[in-house]
Structure 1
Amino acid sequence: MRPSISKIINLLCLLCGSMFFVEINAQVKMPAIFSDNMVFQREVKIPVWGTAAAGDKIDVQLGKKKVSVITDALGKWKAELSPFKAGGPYDLKISGKNSIIYKNVMIGEVWICSGQSNMAMEVREIGDTCNNKQEIADADLPYIRFFTVDPMTAASPQSDLKGRGWEVCDTNTVKRFSAVGYFFGKKLYDKLKIPVGLINSSYGGTDIEAWTSSQSLKTISYFSDILQSIKLYSENDAAFLEEYNRKREEWKSSSMNTDPGFPSSGITWKDTLLDVTSWSKIIVPCLWDQQELKEFNGSVWYRKEIEIPSSWSGKDLILNMGPIDDIDVTWFNGHMLGSGELWDKPRQYIIPATLVKAGRNILAIRCIDTGGPGGVWGEAEQYYISNSLNEKIQVAGEWLYKRTLPINEFPSRPTSFENPNCPTVLFNAMIAPLIPYSLGGVIWYQGENNTYTALRYRTLFPLMINDWRSKWGIGDFPFYFVQLANYMNINPEPAEDTWAELREAQLMTLKVKNTGMASAIDIGDAIDIHPKNKREVGNRLALIALAKLYGIKDEFSGPVYRTYKVEGNSVRIKFDHSKGLKVQGNKLLGFAVAGDDKKFRWADAKIEGSDVVVWCNEILKPVAVRYAWASNPVCNLYNAAGLPASPFRTDDWKVLTEDFLKE
């Protein structure tokens, strides 16, 4: 029996489709980090990699240098071009069954800029603290190039990422780039006069564990269980996913059942008839750590009365809000609108017409923060209710709040593997795809999110640095970092402090080979965890690179504690980087002394040459000294280069945070 014409046509279509699929997959494909305007690191081998059909020959040519490779059984290939001196522009041509040409490629210095929100903060976001309008107007600098990695997470290492491609620095593109990264790169370019490529791979509000690979974290038994769970999740293990989803639903129910906002009988805190006379005022949007709830992690309720005009009554509305850190459940007139779990994502909920009435309406939010800063935050213009005509009622401003349970009284919560603070997920999504791109070094601004686990940071920070170095396999490349800026209220008396402990962990990381630290202890903001003076931060990082890597031997660090010696009722402190010690102001401030009782009291201090002598008349036998040991210390010791002394302590007494290696 002859096949019908329709069957023959269908067969031909199927064959053509298969051939097209094979042809598409046979073509050379390149990762997103390769684009026009890119910069390669000078004077090192230049890796170029991608995919094509298995067994294909791939030709890679940059300028006059050319190399050929054969793809492996999976179609993967990697070529290495011999080193170039700084210069350009060049064309990079990759040829297989198809050809890709990247234009305006430069050779110079390439740096990864990584960390959390203070590295992510863009030039356009820093206001005019740094004469920003003029900086932007002067930013036509074609030898500086940017690549910004889109924030994302992944449960397993990825081969590619997303981004806008490499951009040439000008008055428009500079606005969207990391401010710290830009000022760092600009300083390098001003001094070196060679191309500078900056790769911004940062994600706000994130823990260092998220930036570290599973291979490194598994060397610490503390992470064994979570790493196994991440592995099963990434493999879509059916039994694991069923149990995981069940536990997540159980947690949601139990966390509400234990909250005082949900009494076993009577009016709940979401209801319109609730008496709120005992509630306090709070500003939205603003992290609660910047208001009355410093260092609180747990559940906080927010409420606000909204006046709805009669013309909106009985119509569907949309509630728009900025990000909520971390988890919210939101109600309108006592009815749940929705919930979200990602701390950095804006919320949008539909308000059904049946709930909307003219006059007084109640908006209620239950916010749970699991660690680090928390609250209802973002920009004021993100908070509004809108109708179908896009008319708006603003809901930013004064709200009422009441805190309930601290996080340690909550039932244990299953890890969210989409959460950017889940171990390994940022390394997998935002660092692994960059490897083995040629680079000169890394600058890093992170730690705010780890202040509650500062002793762990002593282990985790060096672990991450060595992790990245081992993955790139190009030796101990430079890794320079920012010591946390001053932030929050000033303590009237010496006290233990988690931010001080985190800064100490950063200071201790200088023991790792080829690292450098820029202190920001004097350029923070008491009420803003994102201080605006990013130019000074970038410049201080650049000073380290210029001195340690590029041979410009200017001072690059403020005074760093070396040793102490008790001399009667005083203590003599010696420093590195102590040339020209000076006080900024009339009196040396920030020192505290303790005796055998381990109770610190404010101390007097004076400079003697390159030393500082410290004493307290109330303590005849001092045994320990601390300097700038607070979240927001009042301190003013500098060296001749105008760089601030790093906070330190001479004791090793028990502190607030615990080390997981001892748990």
Structure 2
Amino acid sequence: MMNKLVLVLLLVTQSAVAAVRLPALIGDRMVLQRDIELKIWGWANVDEKVTVRFQGKYYYTEAGSDGKWMVTLPPKKAGGPYVMEINELAIRDVLIGDVWLCSGQSNMETPIERLVEQFPEIDVSNNHMIRYFKVPTQNTVEAIKEDIPRGGVWRSGIASDVMNWTALAYFYAQESYLHNGVPVGMLVSSLGGSAIESWISQEHLKEFPQLLVDQVALDSLRLIQSDKGAENWIKREWNDADWCTANVPGDWRRQGIEVRGVVYFRKEFEMPARMEGRHAKLYMGTMVDSDSVFINGHFVGATSYMYPPRKYHIPAGVLRAGKNNVTVRLRANSGNGSFVEDKIYRVKADDVEVDLTGEWKYKVGIDLAKAKRLSERLQRVKSAGSGLYNGMIYPLRDYGVKGVIWYQGESNTGQPQRYRAYLKTLINSWRTLLHQPNLPFLLVQLPNYMAKQDLPSESGWAGVREAQFKIAQEVAHTALAVTYDVGEWNDIHPLNKKDIAKRLFLGARKVAYGEHIVSDGPRYKNMEMEGNKIILSFTEVGGGLRSKGGAPLRHFAIAGEDKKFVWADAVIKGNTVVVSHPLVKPVAVRYGWSDNPEDANLINKEGLLASPFRTDNW
């Protein structure tokens, strides 16, 4: 009976050890992207066989030498819920539909609970076909990560779950589901206060040297900070023939050991036959600074600072008749380690004492002086790019998505001139990672913020809006949601995420779903000089140019050769806007160029706002 019990326990233990491990994303209530090949992956013991069963079909693979396994499922139509089985694991309530990767900074993270008073329908949400997953924060500049941290789970859009959502993701999912009638998964990987540089891979940041991590120094630092002797130099049988020699007691510097870090010391000693397997005590005086001590490879004690006397118990069964060895891993933080003189260094057991003073062998395990020099080369590592890409985007690379929603820019308004290049690089970086060269990107243009200005002025916020506008013009399969009328002058986190979601989905209908609709407001095309007037032409005029509410056009500014902008008169003529000022011979025009251009009111017949723009490059 006992043998059977042991066998059962052994089998259970082996099963637990051999169980497959899944990435955090693959779990109950997940949404898989429809109409594309689907990758399901995880980790297991090397060569372990893995079977995935889904929709009545089986897919087989086995874990590779690195423990990772992956199967590829053929494209699936929208539907669900389904159950997916992976070996002994069952993943329930799986939907197939459209998955959107949502990223950026705090406005992508605005919790939905803040919007309940403004949008009371949230409280009675009852849509089980929309799902949400929030990627836990993982900022790692030094290296890419294979998986996101644990803690995230897929949540549905029912009332008991919806308060865990972020606001923009919720409203966008509702828009998409109402229009398409297929399940929607919102995969939110964002971090408040983050700059765009953190979301771009090191490979794609090569044209921005100031954002690169000194990889040579980093790799060297890792090597130096790693303990060369760990697990090996403490072994009884380790060959120390090439080690240097030093005397114990004594300090390092007087013996030529110019190291700040970790040094291993070893000494061989003899024990009489009667000491075989007996317990004993080890006296190692006092050491500077901290130590770990091993007898014949067995750990016998450690002290974390310099003052206490080292008295360690050697358990029975460790000592042998004849040759034995003691290994001390000694760490010196100040640069001059020491076995303090006039202390006792010996093994003692009943009537046997073995003196351990005299010649020892040593070898450097960690040289922190070299590490310090390399660390100085890496002082900028935390301000370098790629930390959030490494920890929160790269691990998602095998999870199929329909497109990306990007709401970010506030943290880059201090240097708007760089944002255009950064945003284009980010799009290329993610499309490369996700193996989708035409991956749709939906961009939220920064909303209005801060107090309105009485006179035309320079603006970092306007500069970022311009960069976002130009990328939407230059890069295929992108759409721009213009939002300078839904912000709040005194809150960088405007609550009206519902209208932003509607405008984003309007862009998605065109660039992601191929609908032939007007999804943009008027876009500046070019200008012509005509006497003391400038005539502006536009694309995306839809049914024609209009002013919002029929009011006179506002927020047009004009400048002459002196580059001083003043508010201008602007009128619509057909599908052009004529701008003038009685006292200015104009050479340049700006529209909506301020932190808070809330009053700017050029639209098309479809009611979509014109994006702010300028004709100069001053």
Distance 1:456 1:604 in 2: 32
Mapping of residues 508-523 of structure 1, within 5 Å: 508-510=470-472, 511-523=474-486
Identity of aligned residues (%): 38
Counterpart position of 2:422:
460
- Among 373, 384, 387, the alignment partner of 1:425 is 387
Structure 1 residue 54, shift from structure 2 partner? 1.1
SS at match of 2:163: helix
Mapping of residues 179-328 of structure 1, within 5 Å: 179-225=167-213, 235=222, 237-238=224-225
Mapping of residues 476-515 of structure 1, within 5 Å: 476-510=438-472, 511-515=474-478
Distance 2:79 2:15 in 1: 37
- Among 605, 625, 629, the alignment partner of 2:593 is 629
Counterpart position of 1:584:
548
Distance 2:593 2:603 in 1: 16
Q: Does 1:113 align with 2:94?
A: no
Mapping of residues 385-404 of structure 1, within 5 Å: none
Counterpart position of 2:161:
173
Counterpart position of 2:144:
157
Structure 1 residue 238, shift from structure 2 partner? 2.9
- Among 128, 133, 142, the alignment partner of 2:117 is 128
Q: Is the 8 A contact 1:65 1:81 kept in 2?
A: no
Structure 1 residue 80, shift from structure 2 partner? 0.5
Q: Is the 8 A contact 1:444 1:480 kept in 2?
A: yes
SS at match of 1:457: helix
Counterpart position of 1:553:
516
SS at match of 1:169: strand
Counterpart position of 2:558:
593
- Among 550, 567, 576, the alignment partner of 1:602 is 567
- Cα gap change, 1:476 to 1:650, in 2 (>3 Å): same
Q: Is the 8 A contact 2:214 2:378 kept in 1?
A: no
- Cα gap change, 1:506 to 1:125, in 2 (>3 Å): same
Q: Residue type of the partner of 1:158?
A: K
Distance 2:9 2:145 in 1: 28
Distance 1:492 1:513 in 2: 37
Q: Is the 8 A contact 1:66 1:81 kept in 2?
A: no
Counterpart position of 1:563:
526
Q: Which runs of 4+ in 1 moved over 6 A?
A: 15-22
- Cα gap change, 1:413 to 1:517, in 2 (>3 Å): farther
- Cα gap change, 1:91 to 1:232, in 2 (>3 Å): farther
- Cα gap change, 1:552 to 1:568, in 2 (>3 Å): same
Counterpart position of 1:531:
494
Distance 1:596 1:435 in 2: 51
Distance 2:502 2:535 in 1: 31
Distance 1:172 1:603 in 2: 53
Counterpart position of 1:541:
504
- Among 64, 69, 73, the alignment partner of 2:61 is 69
- Among 50, 73, 83, the alignment partner of 1:58 is 50
Alpha-carbon displacement from aligned partner over 1:620-639 (angstroms, at most 9, x marks no partner): 3x111100111112311111
Structure 1 residue 237, shift from structure 2 partner? 4.8
Q: Residue type of the partner of 1:121?
A: T
- Cα gap change, 1:428 to 1:569, in 2 (>3 Å): same
Aligned pairs, number: 459
- Among 86, 89, 95, the alignment partner of 1:94 is 86
Distance 1:587 1:236 in 2: 68
RMSD: 2.6
Structure 1 residue 128, shift from structure 2 partner? 2.9
- Cα gap change, 1:111 to 1:53, in 2 (>3 Å): same
- Among 395, 408, 430, the alignment partner of 1:446 is 408
Q: Is the 8 A contact 1:114 1:443 kept in 2?
A: yes
Distance 2:200 2:522 in 1: 30
Q: Is the 8 A contact 1:34 1:165 kept in 2?
A: no
Distance 1:225 1:53 in 2: 33
- Among 120, 125, 130, the alignment partner of 1:144 is 130
- Cα gap change, 1:469 to 1:231, in 2 (>3 Å): farther
Distance 1:86 1:225 in 2: 42
Structure 1 residue 22, shift from structure 2 partner? 6.8
Q: Is the 8 A contact 2:507 2:520 kept in 1?
A: yes
- Cα gap change, 1:18 to 1:152, in 2 (>3 Å): farther
Q: Is the 8 A contact 2:403 2:512 kept in 1?
A: no
Distance 1:413 1:590 in 2: 48
Alpha-carbon displacement from aligned partner over 1:300-347 (angstroms, at most 9, x marks no partner): xxxxxxxxxxxxxxxxxxxxxxxxxxxxxxxxxxxxxxxxxxxxxxxx
SS at match of 1:50: strand
Structure 1 residue 216, shift from structure 2 partner? 1.5
Distance 2:112 2:539 in 1: 33
Distance 2:100 2:223 in 1: 36
Q: Residue type of the partner of 1:439?
A: V
Distance 2:218 2:484 in 1: 37
Counterpart position of 2:20:
28
Q: Is the 8 A contact 1:185 1:542 kept in 2?
A: no
Q: Is the 8 A contact 1:127 1:532 kept in 2?
A: no
Q: Residue type of the partner of 2:603?
A: Y
Structure 1 residue 226, shift from structure 2 partner? 5.5
- Cα gap change, 1:84 to 1:598, in 2 (>3 Å): same
Distance 2:427 2:220 in 1: 27
Q: Is the 8 A contact 2:116 2:123 kept in 1?
A: no
Q: Is the 8 A contact 2:202 2:212 kept in 1?
A: no
Q: Residue type of the partner of 1:145?
A: R
- Cα gap change, 1:565 to 1:119, in 2 (>3 Å): same
Structure 1 residue 432, shift from structure 2 partner? 1.4
Distance 2:216 2:461 in 1: 31
Structure 1 residue 453, shift from structure 2 partner? 1.7
Alpha-carbon displacement from aligned partner over 1:257-310 (angstroms, at most 9, x marks no partner): xxxxxxxxxxxxxxxxxxxxxxxxxxxxxxxxxxxxxxxxxxxxxxxxxxxxxx
Structure 1 residue 230, shift from structure 2 partner? 6.0
- Cα gap change, 1:218 to 1:529, in 2 (>3 Å): same
Structure 1 residue 23, shift from structure 2 partner? 5.5
Distance 2:574 2:220 in 1: 61
- Cα gap change, 1:19 to 1:134, in 2 (>3 Å): closer
- Cα gap change, 1:66 to 1:474, in 2 (>3 Å): farther
Q: Is the 8 A contact 1:156 1:231 kept in 2?
A: no
- Cα gap change, 1:231 to 1:460, in 2 (>3 Å): farther
Structure 1 residue 548, shift from structure 2 partner? 2.4
- Cα gap change, 1:59 to 1:475, in 2 (>3 Å): farther
Distance 1:34 1:92 in 2: 10
Q: Is the 8 A contact 1:188 1:546 kept in 2?
A: no
Bigger-Rg structure (1/2): 2
Q: Residue type of the partner of 1:80?
A: T
Distance 1:183 1:439 in 2: 18
- Cα gap change, 1:642 to 1:128, in 2 (>3 Å): farther
- Among 76, 89, 92, the alignment partner of 1:103 is 92
Structure 1 residue 20, shift from structure 2 partner? 8.6
- Cα gap change, 1:577 to 1:26, in 2 (>3 Å): same
Structure 1 residue 84, shift from structure 2 partner? 0.6
- Cα gap change, 1:226 to 1:608, in 2 (>3 Å): farther
SS at match of 2:480: strand
SS at match of 1:613: strand
